[in-house]
Amino acid sequence: MKFTCNQQSLSKALNTVSKAVTSRTTIPILKGILLEASNDNTLTLSASDLDLSIEKKIEVSVEEEGSVVVSARLFSDIIRKLPNEDIEIEELENNNIIIRCLSSEFMIVGLPAEEFPNIGEINEEQKISLEKELLKEMIKKTSFAASIDESKGIIVGVLIEMEEDSLNMVALDGFRMAVTRENMKNEENRKIIISARILNEINKIISETEEQKEISVILDEKKAVFLLEDTRIVLRLLEGDFIKYKDILPKENKVKVKVSRTDLLNSIERASLLAKEGKNNLIKLSIFRDKVIITSRSEEGNVKEEVFIEKDGTDLDIGFNSKYILDVLKVVTDSQVVMEFNTSVSPCLIKPVEGNAYEYLVLPVRISTN
């Protein structure tokens, strides 16, 4: 293998595929990046942690085709620190490679390409096209609510549900649930579950690609492939049945409150400063006439915040872990939101003033009544 390439384009490609390199593995080959130079003057870079694989192609000038695996960390560090000039990369007989650029010359130890896991082909069962900005927003508004506890099974994943007229995403962790919906015609109904961690990585890669507005997603039974520009992201779908989330969403709520999202966000953030003891972040919301009064207390003091509301229903006192309410208010962008309550021990629903683009359910914390 021998090729010449531009430092910037190689460094950018390494940055993208490195997102699939895990530091947690004990398998040396998975700490590597597969370089494949082919006679059509293309270099394909691939990395995989077995759950997530990323492949990116860049234009290079190939003198001799071939392939080798190099340490992701060391190779990326070297390329990033080289000047923005032509870099010549040559494989020696023992998988080692030589990197030359102006007056710099590196020799680094490689591994045989044959040992690299096969990202594999996919049987195209279903193909959908998604608007990039829409996908980014839906992931951002949903994935934070998934469980981060790997022992909790399927709820580390986000449910992506293609229905006749909409695309829905759902995540929950037992304390809160996020549901987002977008109008979209789908030819076939389908439910898939993707790890929230992987969706967040995909969001980072999407954010770095500027040109393309549409992303193609190809599905088969066990895998999904996201195609964008010269990057192919292959990921393993999670297997199992997701919680029947529609059964959890409350049908009817007695108390409805319309409130400024930023006023409520700022007030709860301040109230949380005195809610850090015991890590439960307990705040109390008292819905009283035309206000919500937010209170919290600790050994260090206490706080009272008031925010004006438009109310439909009775007064109510209810306690929350402030983090779960703040998480919602931070990802939503509307100037006003609606909060719905039934009793002080039933979940709160946060939704838009109009439509059903999102619904968030947050479980309350029982508070003493004095």
- Which residues here bind its own copies, judged by CB under 8 A? 71, 74, 77-78, 81-83, 96, 103-109, 266-267, 269-270, 273-274, 299-307
Output the CA–CA distances (angstroms, integers) from residue 131 to 57, 206, 241, in the order listed: 22, 11, 27
Q: Nearer to its own copies by C-beta: 238 or 329? A: 329
**How many CB atoms are located within 10 Å of the residue 314 CB?**
9
* Cα radius of gyration (the chain): 25
Shortest gap between Cβ of 67 and its own copies (angstroms)? 18
Q: Which residues of 126-160 are buried (b: 16+ CB within 10 A; e: fewer)?
A: eebebebeebbbbbebbbbbbbeeeeeeebbbbbb
Which contiguous run of DSSP H or E holds residue 16?
Answer: helix 7-17
**Is 43 or 82 the residue whose CB approaches its own copies more closely?**
82
Question: CB of residue 27 vs its own copies: minimum separation in angstroms?
Answer: 17
Give dist(CA 142, CA 158) in Å, integer.
8
Nearest approach in angstroms of CB 339 to its own copies is: 18
Task: Determine how β-strand 291-298 pairs with β-strand 282-288.
Answer: antiparallel
Q: Which is nearer to its own copies, 127 or 308 (CB)?
A: 308
- Smallest gap from Cβ 46 to its own copies, in A, equals 20
Q: Are 34 and 75 in contact (CB under 8 A)?
A: no
Q: State in angstroms the smallest separation of the CB of 99 from its own copies.
A: 9
Question: Taking the complex as a whole, how short is the minimal distance between the CB of residue 321 and its own copies, in angstroms?
Answer: 19
Q: How far is the CB of 332 from its own copies (least distance, A)?
A: 20
Give the integer Cα–Cα distance in Å for 150 and 154.
9
Rank residues 292 and 361 by Cβ distance to its own copies and give the closer one: 292
Handedness of CA 122, 125, 127, 133 (dihedral sign): negative
Q: Which is nearer to its own copies, 44 or 267 (CB)?
A: 267
- Nearest CA-CA partner of 338 in 256, 274, 268, 263: 256
Query: Element (H or E) spanning 303, and its range?
Result: strand 301-312
Q: Are 326 and 144 in contact (CB under 8 A)?
A: no
Nearer to its own copies, 204 or 304 (CB): 304
Look at residue 320 and give its three-state secondary structure: strand
Q: Residue 270 or residue 366: which is nearer to its own copies going by CB? A: 270
202 or 329: CB nearest its own copies: 329
Q: How far is the CB of 4 from its own copies (least distance, A)?
A: 19
Q: How many CB atoms lie within 10 A of CB 2?
A: 16
For its own copies, the closer CB: 213 or 270: 270
Structure tokens at 262: 């930023």
Q: What's the token pair of residue 57? A: 């192609």
For the CB of residue 101, give the shortest distance to its own copies in the complex, in Å.
9
**Residue 241, token pair as written in the block:** 């049945």
- Helix, strand and coil percent figures for the chain, each rounded to 5: 25, 45, 30
State the nearest-atom distance from the C-beta of 206 to its own copies, in Å.
30
The neighbouring-strand residues paired with 316 are 287
Q: Is the Cβ of residue 72 or residue 171 nearer to its own copies in the bound state?
A: 72
